[in-house]
C-alpha cells in the first residue's frame, strides 16, 4: 500500500500522535531504522512539526508506523533533558517562536531573553517577545517592562504586551499567529497555559491522549505538543513545557555577534576582522556600548555567552 502523509502533533519518545491530510489522528511508532543508539548526538529522530510518511498497521484502532520523514524547513534544538551530551529537537517547521515574558511573577531575566533570541536566529526562525500580565504593570514592574520594551525594540526586535487574564492585546497576538505554526515558550508561571487556553478554548481536548501505560498524564512530559487553532483563525500552536534554559546550541564563538543585530551592522568597522569585541583596540562594538548606542545589558550578556561557548560543553 502506498504510504500516506501526516504531521507529528505529539511525541512521548516511543509513540507519536500524527494527523493525516484528512484530519485523522493516528497513534504511530517508528520503523526500526529510525531507532537511535544512546551515543547518537540527537536524542529524538522525529519531532513535533515534522511531516512524515506512514503506513496503517491497524485501521480500527488508528495504529500506524512511520517509515519516512520529509524535508524540514527548519528546526530548533536544545540539550536533551535526559543526557546533556545529546541534543533534543524541540520542534520543526516553525514559522514563529514566541517567548512569553513577565516583568513580575516571575521575572524573566534579560539573559534568558537574549538566549532565546540568539537561538531562534541561529535556527532561522522568526521570533516575537510577548510580555504577559499587562494588568500587573505598576511601579517597579512597569519600569521593568519599559526597560525590556526599550532595550529590545531599540535593537530591532518586536515586543508585544498582552494579558491572558484581561484579554488585552490578545486580538493582536491572534493576528500574529493566523495561519502560522507558532511555538510558545517561557519560564514556568509566565501564563503560557492560560494564554494558549484563551487562544484555543478547547485546548485540553484537542489531541488524543497517547499515554504509554505508565500512568503518566501528558502534562508531565517535557516534550512539545502541537494544537490546531480554531478554524476561523487557522494556524497551530506548539506548546513547549519544561524548557528552563536556552543553551546556545550550534553557535560558534566567532559567529555569536551575528545574532546581535545591533552588532552586525557595526562589525566591519572593527579594526580586526576576527575581533571578538573583548579587549581588542579600535573595536566599533565597544565604542557603541560606551556611547550608549548598544545597551550595556546586551553587551554584558554577549561576554557571558562568549565565555560559555569557550567551554567544551
Q: List contacts with ligand GDP (CB under 6 A).
A: 132-133, 135-136, 163-165, 186, 188-194
Helices (H), the chain: 110-122, 139-154, 170-177, 192-199, 261-264, 284-290, 296-310
> Of Zn ion, ligand GDP, none, which one does residue 164 interact with (CB within 5 to 8 Å by kind)?
ligand GDP
- The least CB distance from residue 133 to ligand GDP, in Å, is 4
Chain-centre distance for alpha carbon 54 = 26
Q: Cell for 104?
A: 513580575
- The least CB distance from residue 185 to ligand GDP, in Å, is 9
Closest CA to 257 of 166, 155, 158, 160: 155
> Of ligand GDP, Zn ion, none, which one does residue 192 interact with (CB within 5 to 8 Å by kind)?
ligand GDP
With contact defined as beta carbons under 8 Å apart, do 51 and 69 qualify? yes
Residues that bind Zn ion (CB under 5 A): 270, 275, 277, 283, 285
Q: Give the contacts of 21 (CB within 8 A, at least 6 positions apart).
A: 4, 5, 6
- The least CB distance from residue 276 to Zn ion, in Å, is 7
Residue with cell string 504511530: 28
Nearer to ligand GDP (CB atom), residue 156 or residue 167: 167
Nearer to ligand GDP (CB atom), residue 190 or residue 256: 190
CA–CA gap between residue 119 and residue 106 (Å, rounded): 22
> Of Zn ion, ligand GDP, none, which one does residue 92 interact with (CB within 5 to 8 Å by kind)?
none
- The least CB distance from residue 226 to ligand GDP, in Å, is 16
> Of ligand GDP, Zn ion, none, which one does residue 68 interact with (CB within 5 to 8 Å by kind)?
none
Closest CA to 12 of 313, 170, 217, 294: 217
- The least CB distance from residue 187 to ligand GDP, in Å, is 7
Amino acid at each position: 500500500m502506498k504510504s500516506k502523509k501526516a504531521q507529528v502533533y505529539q511525541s512521548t519518545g516511543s509513540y507519536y500522535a500524527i494527523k493525516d491530510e484528512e484530519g485523522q489522528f493516528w497513534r504511530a511508532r517508528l520503523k526500526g531504522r529510525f531507532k537511535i543508539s544512546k551515543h547518537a548526538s540527537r536524542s529524538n529522530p522525529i519531532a513535533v512539526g515534522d511531516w512524515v510518511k506512514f503506513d496503517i498497521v491497524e485501521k480500527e484502532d488508528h495504529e500506524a508506523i512511520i517509515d519516512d520523514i520529509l524535508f524540514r524547513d527548519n528546526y530548533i534544538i536544545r540539550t536533551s533533558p535526559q543526557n546533556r551530551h545529546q541534543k533534543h529537537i524541540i520542534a520543526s517547521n516553525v514559522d514563529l517562536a514566541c517567548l512569553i515574558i513577565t516583568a513580575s511573577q516571575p521575572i524573566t531575566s534579560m539573559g534568558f531573553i537574549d538566549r532565546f533570541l540568539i537561538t531562534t536566529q541561529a535556527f532561522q526562525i522568526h521570533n516575537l517577545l510577548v510580555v504577559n500580565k499587562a494588568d500587573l504593570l505598576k511601579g517597579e514592574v512597569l519600569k521593568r517592562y519599559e526597560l525590556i520594551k526599550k532595550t529590545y525594540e531599540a535593537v530591532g526586535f518586536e515586543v508585544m504586551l498582552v494579558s491572558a487574564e484581561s484579554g488585552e492585546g490578545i486580538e493582536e497576538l491572534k493576528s500574529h499567529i493566523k495561519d502560522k505554526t507558532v511555538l510558545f515558550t517561557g519560564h514556568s508561571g509566565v501564563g503560557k497555559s492560560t494564554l494558549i487556553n484563551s487562544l484555543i478554548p478547547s485546548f485540553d481536548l484537542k489531541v488524543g491522549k497517547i499515554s504509554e501505560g505508565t500512568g503518566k498524564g501528558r502534562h508531565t512530559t517535557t516534550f512539545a505538543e502541537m494544537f490546531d487553532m480554531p478554524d476561523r483563525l487557522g494556524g497551530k500552536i506548539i506548546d513547549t513545557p519544561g524548557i528552563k534554559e536556552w543553551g546556545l546550541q550550534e553557535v560558534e564563538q566567532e559567529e555569536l555577534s551575528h545574532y546581535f543585530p545591533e552588532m552586525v551592522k557595526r562589525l566591519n568597522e572593527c579594526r580586526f576582522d576576527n575581533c571578538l569585541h573583548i579587549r581588542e583596540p579600535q573595536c566599533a562594538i565597544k565604542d557603541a556600548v560606551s556611547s550608549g548606542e548598544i545597551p550595556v545589558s546586551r553587551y554584558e550578556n554577549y561576554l557571558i555567552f562568549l565565555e560559555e561557548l569557550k567551554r567544551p560543553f
